[in-house]
Every structure is written in structure tokens, then in C-alpha cells.
Amino acid sequence: PMMNGIGGDLFALYWDAKTGKLYGLNASGWAPQGLTISHLKAIGATSMPQSGIDTVTVPGAVAGWNTLHERFGRLPWKDIFQTAIFYADEGYPVPELIHGYWEDSVEDLLRDAESRRVFLHNDKPPALGEIFQNHDLAKALRLIAQQGANSFYRGEIAQAILRTSQTLGGTMLEADLAEFAPEWVEPISITYRDWTIYELPPNGQGMAALEMLNIMQTSLASSEGPLSVTELHKKIEAMKLAYADLYRYNADPRSDQVPVKGLLSQSYAKERAKLINPNKAACDVAAGEPPSSDTTYLSVVDREGNIVSLIQSNYAAFGSGITVRGMGFSLQNRGALFSLDPSYPNVLAPHKRPFHTIIPAFMERGNQHIGFGIMGGPNQPLAHAQFVSNVVDYGMNIQAALEAPRFTVSSRRGCNILIESRVKSETLQQLSGMGHQLEVRREYSSAMGRGQAVLHDSHSNVNYGASDARADGSAEPEPPPLK
């Protein structure tokens, strides 16, 4: 419940096997009309809050489900909620990873009376393996199943959201919810070696994964392997360059012009790659000048080869820390990613969508089509690029590509790198000697992101699934059709 829910946002890619077309959906919500810089200054804020009612943006997930269902769904709308309603009502055993996140969130949950009531028992989280029930959430899901998405944006759930916001001094109004609609968008892509890699355009951060891959392919992959000093250094430095551009330019393209075409051009990648010193880590990387022009992920492939790559999130654990009264779900805190600096494209404005971290992905070559995603907040583009390189450059299958040792960043700037202990000690020593400040984590660290992937081979009509050992997920086959 801390990672995603009906109070969060959704992004999806849908591959139509029959037509060979990839569709993109942006179901991320916007800031309330009253959530302005002047409002925050009036309550004494000098920077964007990271939790609480003033970080809440309109939740887009339910509208996203509805939009996907209207275009591609086959089952009756009410039927697709029955399993979720069952588990909300009857409960489920709390798994190990989720239990750890729950324990880490107790302090935040105690700040909100409804969060405390719904998600804690005697001010403590459920024990590992304990059955957790949420009857209020079951009620909300029944309303959505019976009355459609309108119940969330114009009906009983909407009224509960508005009452919660007003009680806590929030700015959400009826029109903020009622006027919201997801947006079909054209996926952005690059060719990496002989594969085509797709991400969604801004306000998500998928363009950083593509820029990083473009920088990486200005040179050949190291023949010494993906965990060699040469290969790791190149990827770390490419990441810094791509992230510098991401945080400088990414924003809601409805409000600001984001130079996606320039950032993803081969010529720009070559210019950025020239900044990489093959023998030394760069600890302060600036954005370039391109030419003008807690999260849950799932990937599904059906027997016809259609693929859904979908990701949802509350952002932080339990989002804003605020639970909607009587409805059993927490509201996201995506507004925390807005800037209050007017010189930045991602500056807060009414009905603007914030910089978003969650990104589904897709890649294809010939008869092979892969839907994948890797949960992990701001580190998702980096994890995507490492997965793609493992598949394309080093011929790994999708399970091996997910489970291979990964590294990630511990801050936006500087040389601080988190890396898994499966990398050889000699390699770590050499990287440290180049100026990389390494923090070695356990063999399979959830800090590196947690991924899922499916592959459909259109020649053999065989589907493959993969699930990351760093998480509680699984790869499950589709049940055979009933006779």
C-alpha cells in the first residue's frame, strides 16, 4: 500500500501485436488550481514541501485504468476489480520487503490521524506475515467497479478527497478533479545498436535513459564485459551527463518547451561523450545546450503478443502521508518534485504536471518485443540503460539482464555511487582510484531498483517472463483458457 494505489499516478506503453503500433499513455495528475508559489509563500514555505497536503496532485491512476480499458480492454469493467476487492477485504500476508518499507514509514503515518488508523495497529505496522485487511479500500474499489472512474473524480470518492483536503488546509477544488483527463502521447525512441528503445516523453524522465544510451553507443561496448572497469566508468559518466540535462530541462511539455529532439540527437550525444575522461571521474557535471527543435511496475503479454508495460506510484512511501477519510488509500506527493525557482522549466504552476520519475519502457528488434520497467525513483533511467546494455551488448536473457549487478547514484551531483558487492574487489579498487566514491551494498540490493520484464517472440509465439530477485515480484504464466 505504500508504493502505489488509487491515490497515485500511472504511465503505460501498449504494444498492439496485430498492427505493430506502440501507444503511450500519460496519466499523471496536475497541481490544483490553488497550489501556487504565492500560496506556499503565504504559509511560510521557502522550498517545495516534501510531504503533507501541499504536495498532493490530482491522482491519475484510476483515470488511466479507465482510458486503457476503453481502448484495449476486453473484460467487463466491474470484473477486473474483483480480485483486488477480495484481497482488500479478506487481507493478504505482508511480505518481507513490504514489511521493511512499512516499518520505515511509521513516523510519517503517525502524523496523520487517518493514516494512523488505517495502516497501523497500536501505532505499529503489521508484523511480517501478518494478514493486513483494508475494508475502507475495498469500499472505494467497489464504488469504482460499480460506478466507473467518475466515482473517483466526480462522485463519492471525489467528495471524500475534497473534504480531506479542506480539513487539512489544502487547495484541491471540484474542478481540479472533474476536469482531469489522461493524455495519449507519442513514445520517444532511439536506435541502440540494432534495437529500437522506447520511452515516454516528458514530464517523465525516460529521455534520460535514451540520452545515456546514445552517449554510451558513441563507443563500442567493452570486450572485457559489463562489469569491467572500462564499461562501468563509461556508464557512470554517461549517466552524470544525462542526469544533468534531465534536471535542467525536464518539465510538463504543455507548459514548457522541452528540447527532446536535440537531447536525443546523435550529434549532441557525441558532443556530450567528448566530456568523458576515460581515466577520471567527473564530480560536477553541468547541463549542455542541446540543439533547439515508491513504485509498482508490471509487464503483461497475452497469447496474441499484445504487451502492456505499466507503472504506478505514490512517489514516497505512502505518498503525502495523508489518507483519504473513510476510503483507505493515501494521496501521492508528486508535487514535491516541483521547483519554486521561476528560472526552471519545472517550476510550480496551477494545472501543471510535475517532473515525474516513473517510466515504463519497451524495446524491439525483428521478431523480439520486450516490455520492461525497473522501480527505483530517480534511478530508473540508469537502471533501464543497464538492462538494455545487458541484453543488447552482452546477449543476456531478460532474467539475467535484470539480476546482473547494478550501480546507482546516491545524489544528483558529485561522485557518490552505490554498487553491489558482486562486483570484483579489484574492479572496485580501480574505480575508487579514478575518483569514484563508492558505497558497496549487499549482493542484491533493492536500492538498485526492482524490475520486471516480458518478451514475446512473434516467430515462435512464445512468451518469456522475468522478475528481479531484489523484490517481492514474480513472473506468472497466463492461465490456460477454460474449455
The whole-number average pLDDT for the span 314-326 is 95
SS percent in the chain: helix, strand, coil, step 5: 35, 20, 45
Cis amide bond preceding 346, omega within 30: no
- pLDDT of residue 373 exceeding 60, the answer is yes
Has domain 185-294+357-467 been given CATH number 1.10.246.130?
Answer: yes
Q: Is 295 designated active site?
A: yes
What's the one-letter identity of residue 346?
N
Write out pLDDT tens, residues 146-199. Answer: 999 999 999 999 999 999 999 999 999 999 999 999 999 999 999 999 999 999
- Residue 295: band (very low, low, confident or very high) from pLDDT cuts 50, 70, 90: confident
Bridge partner list, 409: 417
What is the rounded distance in angstroms from the CA atom of residue 305 to the CA atom of residue 311? Answer: 19
Contact 329, 393 (CB under 8 A): no
The whole-number average pLDDT for the span 52-69 is 98
Q: What is the pLDDT of residue 293?
A: 44
Mean pLDDT of the chain: 94
The whole-number average pLDDT for the span 90-109 is 94
What is the rounded distance in angstroms from the CA atom of residue 167 to the CA atom of residue 114? Answer: 12
Q: What is the pLDDT of residue 413?
A: 67
Question: Which is more confidently placed, 59 or 287?
Answer: 59
C-alpha cell recorded at residue 178: 472533474
Determine which one of 55, 67, 295, 408 is catalytic.
295
Alpha helices in 156-197 (DSSP H): 156-167, 174-178
Instruction: Express as a percent the part of the chain with pLDDT over 90.
Output: 88
Q: What is the pLDDT of residue 41?
A: 94
Q: 456-468 b/e with 16+ CB inside 10 Å = b?
A: beeeeeebbbbbb
- Residue 429: band (very low, low, confident or very high) from pLDDT cuts 50, 70, 90: very high
What are the boundaries of each domain within the chain?
A: 28-180+320-337, 185-294+357-467
List of long-range contacts for 435-444, beta carbons under 8 Å, 24+ apart:
435/280, 435/281, 435/283, 436/233, 436/236, 436/281, 439/410, 444/403, 444/420, 444/469, 444/470
What is the rounded distance in angstroms from the CA atom of residue 152 to the CA atom of residue 134? Answer: 18
Q: What is the pLDDT of residue 103?
A: 95
